[in-house]
């Protein structure tokens, strides 16, 4: 029992101790971030707490007092709740838990509290005068208006409708209609008159805004009027081109600042233009790229704006002419004076004009890059180079200040330190002949001429081989000798022009005659196989055919294409107007006919060899004649296969092959028809013996004994088997 009392007392004491601990209050606001968030204040209460949002914040659920489990604070957008909180002359900008007021452009305040603005109008004109700045330029008057200022320009000056930019001088006298080439160039005077009137209206303070077209409309009118000038016919003189280019450049310079957008593209059948304009209080910076037609321009806004007085805008324009290259394709006087007399030039791209607002473009601090597309896809070569040129006011092309940065067969990139109208020129230089090729030509043709001379001597004076075939070979060698002689002496002698044309005509005639006599040889072989008796051809018929046919072809060609004889680099037929086919056409026809004759001859020979009683001696000789004729035709025909490419660029290999084959002609004829002939060798031996033993000359060659002549003719007939032929 005693123990129960003690246990009761002990339990009661523990209960009192526990209740004493519960009586201590817990402060939930010790961790306000966890209880209410960062945008609220925490208030502790007995056994609880509550949160209240800070100024500039509110409970998302609306109740001012809340706990973390029943709300959180969000920013109050004072600018939306009260649009006039900053007043009429200021702008409100919301911030986290607050807002900020700033005065509108043209107004200012002295208040230090950004939420209690008292904006007053700012006098920019007075401020600029205090600082010594001329915000309207030298000839502009500053007028302060409500919240801004205007620049009123003096007569002859304009700010192109943007009244808060400095006044720039307008040179309306540059559009001087009624003098110079404009009178003779239909439509140019109207363009100058239109632009002059527009310039005067823009520069007159009293005419501001009255009846003036906007920039885009004026640009359209300018390009349409230019189309009417250029479309009927090309310009005929360089002064008209200079006047037109200058007028359009000044017109673009006047129209550009009046355009509505920052970039404008427009085109007609004669021109394409792209104009970019940047406006602002400060000079623009950064790159600028323009593309128009077949050209592109790369520069920067610093170059376009220049370093002089900034007029409140910067402009860059690229104007491309689609057909003007034909009118400026002959004004190379300055380039011809500096270069070789034999160098020729040709405009090889579209003409483009580059216009910028920078008034000082004659010596730019940074060069501009202009990429121009070629009129044809042509690679540079040792005799062909691309040049970057500009059009001078004197009416001629010049390369001063421009150079070619890079070039391929389609485009050339030009870099220039001044601005004007530009184009790519193709310069054609005379190609110096290779020393090795000249040496091979002289040695080869020299050997050929020597062999042909020996062959001519043999065919003319060797009595044992006289006959129709020998006559054909004689005249074939004469024609080939003359052709090689003219080729060696005059193929490159282009001056004087009349002499070059004569050499070309002689080469045309004699090479055609060579093929014609070769055709007669094919006919003779055919007659020898097919006709047993009377196989000869009358000499008159041979001469008429061998020399008359090529003469008629040359005469017709000379009358119809007189300028086709002789080129800039060689005395041969021109490859441009089709005259070359007056040679290759007959040559192809002769080769084709000869092939038919030779095939038929070989077929007949095969039949005769297979007959019962063939005349083997005669058939073997005809077969030998046929083989030599075919070999000769193959060499001559193959030579002119390569000769077709001889006078074109980049054909050095063709020239070597042509020269070698041409040299083989004379050598081949001498070997086949002279050295391989037993009768000719015997005559050579007899001649050498006479030279070595002159005392026997009279008895061997001067005998007039009929029996001796008859005996010799008999031997000749035995050797050839064709003395009557």
Domain chopping of the chain, boundaries: 32-76, 130-168, 236-428, 447-685
The secondary structure of residue 362, as a DSSP letter, is: S
Mean pLDDT of the chain: 79
Q: How far apart are CA 278 and CA 297, in angstroms?
A: 17
Q: Decide if 130-168 and 447-685 have a common fold.
A: no
pLDDT tops 70 at residue 182: no
pLDDT tops 70 at residue 6: no
Which of 10-19, 79-88, 151-160, 565-574 bottoms out in mean pLDDT, i.e. has the lowest? 10-19
> What pLDDT, on the 0 to 100 scale, is given for residue 390?
95
Asked if 83 and 94 touch (Cβ cutoff 8 Å), the reply is no
SS3 content of the chain, % helix, strand, coil (to 5): 50, 20, 30
315 bridge partner residues: 277
> What pLDDT, on the 0 to 100 scale, is given for residue 267?
92
pTM for the whole thing? 0.56
Measured from the Cβ of residue 388, the count of other Cβ atoms closer than 10 Å reads 23
Give, in words, the CATH class of 447-685: mainly alpha
Confidence of residue 724 (pLDDT cuts 50, 70, 90): very low
pLDDT tops 60 at residue 43: yes
Confidence of residue 32 (pLDDT cuts 50, 70, 90): low
The answer to whether domain 130-168 has CATH 2.10.25 is: yes
**288, exposed or middle or buried, with CB in 10 Å at 0-12, 13-18, 19+?**
buried
Q: How far apart are CA 528 and CA 429, in angstroms?
A: 54
562-574 pLDDT per residue, tens: 888 887 777 888 8
pLDDT tops 70 at residue 116: no
**Region 236-428: CATH code:** 2.60.220.50
pLDDT tops 70 at residue 641: no
pLDDT tops 60 at residue 672: yes
Instruction: Please work out, in degrees rounded to the nearest 5, the angle formed at the alpha carbon of residue 537 by the alpha carbons of 535 and 543.
Output: 165
Q: How far apart are CA 484 and CA 411, in angstroms?
A: 43
Beta strands in 295-437 (DSSP E): 295-300, 313-321, 344-347, 351-356, 368-373, 384-391, 397-398, 402-407, 411-416, 421-428
Domain 32-76 adopts which CATH fold?
A: Laminin (2.10.25)
């Amino acid at each position: 029992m005693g123990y129960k009392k003690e246990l009761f007392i002990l339990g009661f004491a523990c209960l009192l101790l526990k209740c004493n601990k519960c009586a201590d209050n817990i402060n939930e606001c010790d961790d306000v971030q966890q209880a209410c968030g960062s945008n609220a204040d925490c208030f502790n209460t007995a056994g609880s707490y509550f949160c209240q949002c800070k100024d500039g914040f509110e409970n998302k659920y609306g109740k001012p007092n809340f706990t973390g489990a029943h709300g959180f604070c969000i920013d109050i957008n004072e600018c939306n709740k009260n649009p006039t909180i900053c007043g009429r002359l200021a702008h409100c900008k919301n911030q986290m838990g607050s807002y900020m007021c700033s005065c509108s452009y043209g107004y200012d305040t002295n208040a230090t509290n950004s939420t209690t603005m008292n904006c007053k109008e700012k006098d920019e004109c007075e401020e600029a005068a205090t600082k010594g700045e001329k915000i309207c330029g030298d000839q502009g008057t500053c007028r302060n208006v409500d919240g801004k200022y205007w620049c009123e320009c003096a007569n002859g000056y304009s700010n192109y409708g943007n009244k808060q930019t400095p006044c720039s001088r307008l040179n309306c006298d540059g559009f001087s209609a009624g003098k110079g080439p404009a009178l003779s160039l239909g439509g140019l005077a109207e363009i100058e008159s239109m632009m002059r009137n527009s310039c005067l209206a823009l520069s007159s303070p009293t005419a501001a805004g009255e009846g003036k077209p906007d920039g885009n409309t004026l640009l359209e009118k300018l390009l349409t009027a230019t189309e009417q000038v250029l479309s009927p016919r090309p310009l005929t003189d360089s002064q008209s081109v200079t006047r037109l280019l200058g007028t359009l450049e000044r017109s673009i310079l006047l129209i550009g600042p009046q355009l509505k957008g920052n970039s404008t593209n427009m085109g007609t059948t004669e021109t394409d233009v792209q104009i970019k304009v940047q406006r602002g209080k400060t000079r623009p910076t950064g790159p600028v790229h323009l593309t128009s037609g077949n050209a592109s321009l790369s520069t920067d806004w610093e170059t376009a704006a220049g370093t002089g007085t900034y007029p409140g805008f910067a402009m860059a324009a690229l104007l491309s002419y689609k057909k003007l290259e034909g009118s400026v394709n002959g004004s190379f006087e300055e380039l011809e004076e500096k270069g070789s007399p034999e160098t020729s030039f040709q405009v090889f791209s579209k003409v483009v004009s580059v216009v910028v607002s920078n008034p000082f473009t004659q010596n730019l601090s940074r060069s501009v890059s202009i990429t121009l597309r070629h009129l044809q896809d042509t690679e540079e070569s040792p005799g062909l180079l691309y040049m970057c040129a500009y059009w001078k006011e004197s009416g001629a092309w010049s390369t001063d200040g421009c150079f070619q940065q890079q070039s391929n067969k389609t485009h050339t990139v030009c870099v220039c330190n001044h601005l004007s109208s530009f184009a790519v020129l193709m310069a054609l230089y005379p190609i110096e002949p290779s020393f090795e090729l000249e040496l091979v030509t002289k040695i080869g043709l020299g050997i050929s001429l020597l062999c042909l001379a020996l062959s001519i001597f043999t065919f003319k004076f060797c009595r044992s081989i006289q006959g129709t075939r020998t006559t054909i070979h004689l005249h074939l060698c004469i024609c080939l000798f003359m052709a090689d002689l003219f080729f060696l002496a005059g193929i490159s002698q282009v001056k004087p022009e009349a002499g070059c044309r004569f050499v070309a005509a002689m080469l045309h005639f004699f090479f055609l005659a060579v093929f014609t006599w070769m055709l007669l040889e094919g006919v003779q072989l055919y007659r020898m196989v097919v006709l047993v008796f009377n196989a000869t051809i009358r000499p008159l018929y041979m001469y008429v055919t061998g020399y008359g046919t090529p003469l008629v072809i040359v005469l017709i060609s000379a009358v119809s294409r007189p300028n086709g004889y002789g080129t800039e680099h060689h005395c041969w037929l021109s490859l441009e107007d089709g005259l070359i086919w007056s040679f290759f056409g007959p040559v192809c026809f002769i080769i084709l006919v000869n092939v038919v004759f030779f095939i038929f001859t070989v077929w007949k020979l095969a039949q005769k060899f297979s007959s019962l009683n063939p005349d083997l001696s005669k058939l073997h000789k005809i077969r030998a004649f046929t083989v030599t004729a075919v070999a000769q035709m193959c060499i001559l025909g193959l030579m002119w296969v390569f000769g077709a490419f001889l006078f074109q660029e980049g054909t050095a290999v063709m020239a070597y092959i042509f020269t070698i084959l041409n040299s083989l002609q004379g050598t081949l004829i001498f070997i086949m028809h002279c050295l391989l002939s037993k009768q000719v060798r015997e005559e050579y031996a007899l001649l050498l013996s006479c030279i070595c033993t002159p005392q026997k000359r009279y008895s061997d060659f001067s005998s007039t004994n009929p029996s001796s002549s008859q005996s010799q003719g008999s031997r000749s007939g035995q050797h050839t088997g064709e003395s009557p032929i």
